[in-house]
Structure 1
Amino acid sequence: MERTMSLSCVEIDERERLRLALSHDPVTAAYLLGDLEPSFFEHCRWFVATYHERICGIVLLYGGLSKPCLLSWGAPDAVEAIVRTFACEWPPGGYGKILNAHQHAFQDVLLFSGIERMWNMGLRQDLFEASIPSLEKPNVTCRLLNVEDSLSSILAIYEDYPGHYFESSQLESGVYAGCFVEGELVGIAGTHTYAPSVGVSCLGNIVTATKHRGKGYARMCIAFLVQELQQRGCKHIALNVNQKNHAAIACYRSLGFVFHNTAMDVVFSRVDGELDLS
């Protein structure tokens, strides 16, 4: 209670101060670190709770996609203090990437629906390097995708993956790789955040066409993308995966990703009526 009473909640735009706070755990904070990249940062509002000037909680409101997104990091009591101070300024609805430990902090202010329980995973370089020799297949190539590739072919792949978060603008803001079998696009691996200036990237929008699943194409595409990201300066590579998606989890673990934290992907809406946030 004493610390809660001493927390100071403010909105800031101090990029370096945020980076220093988040860098203590770059895998858990990978999405937020990614949004420090200048092209993303301009779409962000950063709400922080400090204790004796030290940042101990953050809620990020990101507005760079078609719907706003809330992300949380830090001590649960600090996040709760931020929610009670600033929720009245947030949009009526959107998406959320919320750590499990923070669910209670939001419960009186936001309604969560479509909850997907996620594993937060981070890449271990030694395990990844050990997986590389098993990734070659004849007549299969991987390369980067760009805006000159057929958007209809890309969207057709994502139609096999209901609930995906892909938007065509991400081909320019992120890094996307395609897996081709004899010239046919059969799988895609991309990034939800790509921030080489802070050495972080989050993989996402990973999908294989239904008729080509179970053949190892996703592993090849992800491995190609990871190597590309590392060459561009991303030392910390993370991802979130639905805890029920056992096939994807097995794929990621085979490439050297290990469990790190638990989180939720949600659709949020503001609670109707007046709230007692005192």
Structure 2
Amino acid sequence: MLGQAFQKSSEYQVSLQLQLRKLYPELVNPGLKHDFYFVHRLDYATSGVICLALNKKACSEATLCFHQRKTKKYYLAVLRGHVSKELIYINEAIGEDSQEEHGSHRMCTPSDLNCTSPRPAQTRMLILQRGLLDNYPATKVILRPITGRRHQLRVHCAHIGHTIVGDYTYSNCKDVLPYRTFLHSYRLVLPNNVELLDIQTHDPFTSNDPRNCWCPVETVNILDDRKLDHPKEPCGKSLATETDMASVRFHLATAGIALSEMSPAWVLLELGTEC
């Protein structure tokens, strides 16, 4: 299942919150607006790891880690076109698009005349492979957002001229053929007082899955996110212009979700790649 924790489709009414309510009603907290302690969010069309806390204290500690930027998040994506630079540091503020319509919550960079209230935003990008996706040039990358703005990765990729495959909003409503948006929360590192949570999922964007229509031609880097941790970063703009439980382990095969408890206070979900 693809899904952001709280966002609902008016047609299908599918969300992670609703799926969890059906599968684990005993974990629902009626005192919470969204029934569960969601520590952070994923965009509706993004798959991968998301963190839930099992109590208020754990949620507060995890939320503080995010606010203090102690967490590390890594995403896999496939972009339109061939990105030339191997390692890219994108330092471009992100604000709201005052002209956005239809509830898309579209964001933009200050180069857009309609951009309002821009806030600093930084993303690191490492090229993994160049190839063809459904016979069109594409580049597979791993991304690390340093800040946490709405739609940050999607906006920054569009800013350098390489939108994420299947991103309807930032392709000006043109990229409609792929079966999904090619953005996946691949790894989450969450330090806390109990243990260091370091959760990594599989890579869904391989040539082994025929739905991807992905044919790599050139491997630039192996899937290793260490290059994104300590890059040489310039000052200024972008380099690129182009209930606690003792032990729980759920596998929600029918919903496409793998749910694992990593400690008595934490639950991490893997949002699967099936719709």
Instruction: Give me the TM-score of the superposition, normalised by structure 1.
Output: 0.25
Instruction: Give me the TM-score of the superposition, normalised by structure 2.
Output: 0.25
